[in-house]
Amino acid sequence: MLNNKNLLITGGTGSFGSAFIEKVSKIYKPKKIIIFSRDELKQSEMQKKIKKSEIKKFRFFIGDVRDKERVHTALKEVDVVIHAAALKQVDAAEYNPLEAVKTNIIGAENIISASISNNVEKIIALSTDKACSPINLYGATKLVSDKLFISANNVKGKTKCKFSVLRYGNVMGSRGSVIPLFLQQKKNNEILTITDLEMTRFSLTIDDGINFAIKTLGMMTGGEIFVPKIPSYKMVDLITAIGIKYKIIGMRPGEKKHEDLISVSDALQALETEKFYIISPNTKVAPWEKNKFMKHNKLKKLNYVKKGFSYSSSNNKNFLSAGQIKNLIKKNLK
Considering 122, 130, 229, 256, which one is annotated as catalytic?
A: 130
For 114-139, letters b (16+ CB in 10 Å) and e give: bbbebbbbbbbbbbbbbbbbbebbbb
Q: CA 40, CA 100: separation in Å to the nearest integer? A: 21
Single-letter code of the amino acid located at 112: I
DSSP, collapsed to helix, strand or coil, labels residue 182 as: helix
**CA R_g for the chain:** 20
Number of residues that make up the chain: 334
130 is catalytic: yes
Q: Where are the beta strands (DSSP E) in the chain?
A: 6-10, 32-37, 58-62, 80-83, 122-128, 162-168, 170-172, 192-194, 200-205, 225-228, 232-234, 246-248, 260-262, 270-272, 276-279, 303-304, 311-312
DSSP annotation of 75 reads T
Q: Residues 6 or more apart from 192 whose CB is under 8 A from it?
A: 182, 185, 186, 239, 242, 244, 245, 246, 247
Contact of 61 with 39, CB cutoff 8 Å:
no
- Identify whether the C-beta of residue 136 lies closer than 8 Å to the C-beta of residue 254: yes
Q: Which residues are catalytic?
A: 130
